[in-house]
Structures are given as C-alpha cells and as structure tokens.
Amino acid sequence: MNTPAFFDAVARITLHDPLAELLGAAENGLIEYGYADAVKLAGHSCPTVAGAYLMTLKALGRLYPEGTPERGGVRVEFDAPQAEGVTGVIAAVVGLLTGAAGDGGFKGLAGRYSRRNLLLFAGGTDSATRFTRLDTGAGVATSCHPDVVPAHAELQALMPKLLAGAASDAEREEFGRHWQMRVKRILIDHFNDPALVVCRDVPPLGAV
C-alpha cells in the first residue's frame, strides 16, 4: 500500500492492551498505532479521519499524563447519534485506538477485559465527545474544528467535475494532491493548534 509520504511523519501512539497481553497477541501488551492504521480502517484519508485521530491522541495524552494509555480502559461518549453527520466515522477511528466498542464489542473474560458499551451515542454530554478513564473517573471533553484549516480553492472548483465523472486524469491527480495537503496541514502543521482540537478537563460524571 503506497501512501503519501507525510503519513510516516504523523505522531504515533503506543497503548497498553491488557487483553492483548493476556492472550499473547502483543509483547507486554504494547500496541502501536499510526495514522495509516486509521486510514486503512476508514478506507480513505480526509479531514474527518485526521481530526478523529488527532483528537483521540490529544484526549489520551491528557488522561494519561503519567505514562502509557490503557486500551480498553476508556469510555467514549458522543453527544450526537451514531448516524448523524460524520459521527460514525469519527467513532470508528476512536474505537480503533481506544478499544472502546458498542453493543457488539467483546464481552470480556470472567468479568474482566470487556470492551462492550464503552462507545456510546446521543448521551446528552456537554461536549461533542467525552473520554473518561474507567479506573479514575477522570474525563476530557473534546471537539475538533477542521474548518480552522481551510481547503484549497482549487478543490471546490474540481469537486463537481470529479463527482460528475468529467475530470481528466490530471485533474483527478491534482484534486487528490490538494486534498491530502489539507490533511497534512491538519495533522502536522496544526498539530498543536488549540483552535483545531479543543480539550478541557471535566469532573467525573455525577460529581458535584
């Protein structure tokens, strides 16, 4: 699989997965993910996939400042329903990295290692997405704003021709190049832009 060169320059994340360690799937339970893994899951690279990847990295870094995040140790709640807008796409990337799953997730072994019902929707949270550690109750509210990184004007001009099947090979190549340049700007140039991914600590649910 040949991907744009900048994929390799995007920040990666290593997580500890106790289930993977138990079952011998990963030495010491350590699993590393990169942006290309999210792209393979989604089948494409776009601002939504990039934003979901970046948002999850930021949230986990904030929840686990002392060390390696625990995969399967975080509950993720979306304010929107799963089928609304791009929520489902974002949730798929979030689930890949965190291990959180919905009703069809792994049910666990002897009451441990469950991934089921850790990915929730239409939760009425006070933020677009909320990440909560299961062990401490610490929470991070997040939202991603890819419009902070505007698309190249040429994209809007080429989009109708591509969708109509009227674009030339050169125009299709140009469109893809501009599209991925925006993704690169999101993931690399704006990696630390506080306006792109907004994170704030929130009290444990039910706390006064």
Domains within the chain, CATH numbers bracketed = 8-145+193-202 (3.30.1330.20), 150-189 (no CATH)
Does this model's pTM top 0.85? yes
Mean pLDDT of 4-31: 98
Mean pLDDT of 120-145: 92
Report in angstroms the alpha-carbon separations of 21 from 28, 65, 98, 115. Answer: 6, 22, 15, 15
Amino acid 205: pLDDT: 65
Mean pLDDT of 70-75: 98
Amino acid 110: pLDDT: 92
Mean pLDDT of 169-181: 94
Which has more pLDDT, 85 or 207?
85
Amino acid 208: pLDDT: 39
Q: DSSP 3-state assignment of 31? A: strand
